[in-house]
Amino acid sequence: MFEHTYDTDDAIAALATPWGTSALALIRGSGGGSLELLEKVFSPLSRLREAAGGTFLHGVLSDPVSGEPLDDVVVLVFRSPASYTGEDGFDISCHGSLPGIASILEALRNAGFRDAGPGEFTMRAFLNGKMDLTRAEAVREIVESKSRKAHSLALQRLSGAIAKRIKLLRSKLLDTAGKIELALDYPEDELDETIVLDSGPVNEVIADLKGLLSTFSTGRLFQAGARVAVCGRTNAGKSSLFNLFLKEDRSIVSEVHGTTRDYIESWINIGGIPIRLFDTAGLRDGGDAVEIEGIRRTRELIDAVDLVLYLVDAQAGVAGEDADFLNRPGNKGRTIPVWNKTDLTDGAAPAGYVPVSVVSGEGFHRLEERIAGHFLKTAYTGDEAVIDSQRQKECLESALDSLEHVKAGIENDVSLDAVAADLQGALLAFGELSGEITAAEVLDTIFSKFCVGK
Ligand SMILES: Nc1nc2c(ncn2[C@@H]2O[C@H](COP(=O)(O)OP(=O)(O)OP(=O)(O)O)[C@@H](O)[C@H]2O)c(=O)[nH]1
Ligand SMILES: [Mg+2]
């Protein structure tokens, strides 16, 4: 949580690129008076003063206290309201040397800038009406996306797909809300016509909300990814398969049983799904204390992952422990049995197993397809927006809950006061979703998860 969340009066600056040596780095600043403060460090001064929004200036930055020149830079000038935050601001492209970046940030501090907190630029964009909360959240989701698919789904949200849909749902409810208000404000005999409430529009919104909520697991799958463990008895070829997925020699492979003791993990991408893949200790009885501990951790991990690739060495065949594992009810729906080392046999695999040879690569592609298929079989595949944020999901659930009450209220002729209160509850939940009526602590939680500089 950062201290200055709602202090939007001052000028802020931060490094927007990673803190590390690179060809170029980008430092951004924003806030009322930020261009005047920049005058203290940038020359030629006159060109900055005259610069219209959207212009690039080539110049030199110097420390305002010592006057020492710091770097040759290009500054992109933004003038309110035509900027990301809606305020005056700038992007400085400087050389990506760590001492150079540090000295520029220090010069900006000396000029009067405050270091920006996480997500503070986007928070200002939100507060200045540049984007609603669903789009602000999409900014972080884009930055954090681990696969192209996750990136394109987040981009869809950034373009306002969720915001537009919610606006539409909200407008569908306003007619009903208006009718109720009219009926509450005027006794029946004062109105020219009797007001009849129709649950049709409410039903439509309910159906649409259910559709949107059902995309959450898909959104999560592509954004947060899935956890997959490679398991099996010792020497089944788990580490060899793990390395093949990673396309690098990461985990130790040897013909010695019990080679892998601690589990190793890495991110891979299968069919656009970010997958955290684990290589684990081979399951067997006995072994020394370290191996026993490794096996205990592996068993814990198996319970926690979304999918297990259970390897059996084709030459060794299915042992009792393999059958036990595969038949255990908790493992059944989330295990893909893999028949490895088919290059050493005739290639035939028992029913239900995916035959592969990690050494020749035979069957590997089919295994990847099986994994993607496992996760995608329940995924949403339409073109509409997909939600990913837990917060958005909760707002939608709350709206849905209120609307179910409204529907029941209309259909059972419940008192209008009660229906009005439930409808208000649904509209409130939509308002929270878009950020129109979101509490300060909620905003704090959302923006503190951002990177600094975004
Ligand atoms: N011929 C053949 N050998 C394989 C294949 N996959 C793995 N091996 C060999 O099997 C041996 C064991 O492989 P590992 O990948 O270390 O097996 P593991 O399951 O990780 O073993 P532990 O870590 O001891 O549990 C090594 O000598 C590998 O080269 C395969 O598809 N064909
Ligand atoms: Mg191993």
Which CATH number covers residue 256? 3.40.50.300
Instruction: Report residue 184 as tokens.
Output: 């509450």
Question: What stretches of 163-306 adopt beta strand conformation (E)?
Answer: 226-232, 264-270, 273-279
Q: Please report whether residue 164 resides in a domain.
A: yes
Question: Of the residues 233, 234, 240, 302, which should be mutated to test ligand 1's pocket, given the most ligand atoms within 8 Å of the CB?
Answer: 240
How many angstroms separate the alpha carbon of residue 309 from the centre of ligand 1?
15
In the block, which residue shows the tokens 């081979």? Answer: 282
How high is the pLDDT of residue 116? 94
CATH code for the domain of 45: 3.30.1360.120
Of the ligands numbered here, which is closest to the C-alpha atom of 236?
1
Enter the DSSP assignment of 356. Answer: -
| Residues 30 and 120 grouped into a single domain | yes
| Residues 123 and 170 grouped into a single domain | no
Cβ 420 vs Cβ 181: under 8 Å: yes
Question: What stretches of 152-263 adopt beta strand conformation (E)?
Answer: 226-232
Q: Please report whether residue 424 resides in a domain.
A: yes
Number of domains in the chain: 3
pLDDT above 50: residue 436 = yes
| Residues 262 and 371 grouped into a single domain | yes
Q: Please report whether residue 360 resides in a domain.
A: yes
| Radius of gyration from C-alpha coordinates of the chain | 29
374 vs 384, more confident: 374
Instruction: Report residue 213 as tokens.
Output: 């909520």
| Residues 55 and 118 grouped into a single domain | yes
Mean pLDDT of 176-192: 78
Q: Which of 106, 129, 152 is the endpoint of a domain?
A: 129
| Residues 313 and 408 grouped into a single domain | no
Confidence bin at 378 (pLDDT 50/70/90)? confident
Q: Which of 99, 129, 159 is the endpoint of a domain?
A: 129
CATH code for the domain of 188: 1.20.120.430
pLDDT above 50: residue 2 = no
Mean pLDDT of 116-142: 94
Mean pLDDT of 271-299: 92
358 vs 182, more confident: 358
Name which of 297, 290, 288, 296 is nearest 265 in CA terms.
297
- Report how far apart, in Å, the C-alpha atoms of 42 and of each of 35, 38, 52, 72, 128 are: 10, 6, 16, 10, 27
What's the domain range around 292?
Answer: 224-376
449 vs 158, more confident: 158
Q: What is the pLDDT of residues 218-257, one digit of tens each?
A: 999 998 899 999 999 999 999 999 999 999 999 999 999 9
List residues, by chain if needed, whose CB lies under 5 Å from ion ligand 2: 238-239, 259-260
| Rounded CA separation 179/381 (Å) | 38
How many angstroms separate the alpha carbon of residue 350 from the centre of ligand 1?
20
Mean pLDDT of 285-314: 93
Mean pLDDT of 382-400: 92
H/E segment holding residue 293: helix 289-304
Looking at this protein, which amino acid is placed at residue 223? Answer: Q
SS3 state of residue 311: strand
How high is the pLDDT of residue 3? 46
pLDDT above 50: residue 295 = yes
Q: What is the pLDDT of residues 43-69, one digit of tens each?
A: 999 999 999 999 999 999 999 999 999
How high is the pLDDT of residue 228? 98
Instruction: Report residue 206 as tokens.
Output: 């309910």
Angle at 155 between CA 382 and CA 439, to 5 degrees: 105
Confidence bin at 441 (pLDDT 50/70/90)? confident
Core vs surface per residue 5-42: b (16+ CB within 10 A) or e: beebeebbbbbbbeeeeeeebbbbbbbeebbebbebbb
Q: Please report whether residue 123 resides in a domain.
A: yes
How many angstroms separate the alpha carbon of residue 118 from the centre of ligand 2?
40
Atom 6, ligand 1: residue with shortest CA distance: 237
How high is the pLDDT of residue 413? 84
Question: Of the residues 239, 278, 302, 339, which should be mutated to test ligand 1's pocket, given the most ligand atoms within 8 Å of the CB?
Answer: 239
Name which of 68, 25, 59 is nearest 39 in CA terms.
59
How high is the pLDDT of residue 6? 60
How high is the pLDDT of residue 196? 75
Enter the DSSP assignment of 116. Answer: P
How many angstroms separate the alpha carbon of residue 267 from the centre of ligand 2?
18
| Residues 314 and 410 grouped into a single domain | no
| Residues 293 and 321 grouped into a single domain | yes
| Residues 99 and 159 grouped into a single domain | no
Q: Please report whether residue 451 resides in a domain.
A: no
pLDDT above 50: residue 421 = yes
Q: Please report whether residue 359 resides in a domain.
A: yes
Q: How many CB atoms lie within 10 A of CB 62?
A: 19
| Residues 122 and 209 grouped into a single domain | no
Mean pLDDT of 161-176: 91
How high is the pLDDT of residue 198? 85
Sequence-distant (≥ 6) Cβ neighbours of residue 215 within 8 angstroms: 380, 384, 385, 386, 387
| Rounded CA separation 145/294 (Å) | 32
Mean pLDDT of 287-303: 92
Coarse DSSP helix, strand, coil percentages of the chain, rounded to the nearest 5 percent: 45, 20, 35
pLDDT above 90: residue 90 = yes
Mean pLDDT of 184-189: 74
| Residues 259 and 326 grouped into a single domain | yes
Atom 10, ligand 1: residue with shortest CA distance: 237
| Residues 169 and 263 grouped into a single domain | no
| Residues 228 and 296 grouped into a single domain | yes
Q: Please report whether residue 278 resides in a domain.
A: yes
Q: Which of 348, 376, 404 is the endpoint of a domain?
A: 376
Instruction: Report residue 350 as tokens.
Output: 């028992």
Q: Measuring from each residue's beta carbon to the nearest atom of ligand 1, which residues come in under 6 Å?
A: 234-240, 253-255, 257-260, 282, 340-341, 343-344, 357-359
How high is the pLDDT of residue 235? 96
Cβ 391 vs Cβ 449: under 8 Å: no
Angle at 179 between CA 176 and CA 185, to 5 degrees: 140
Phi/psi of residue 93, nearest 5 degrees: -95, 115
- The ligand 1 atom nearest the CA atom of 360: 31
How high is the pLDDT of residue 188? 67
Q: Please report whether residue 49 resides in a domain.
A: yes
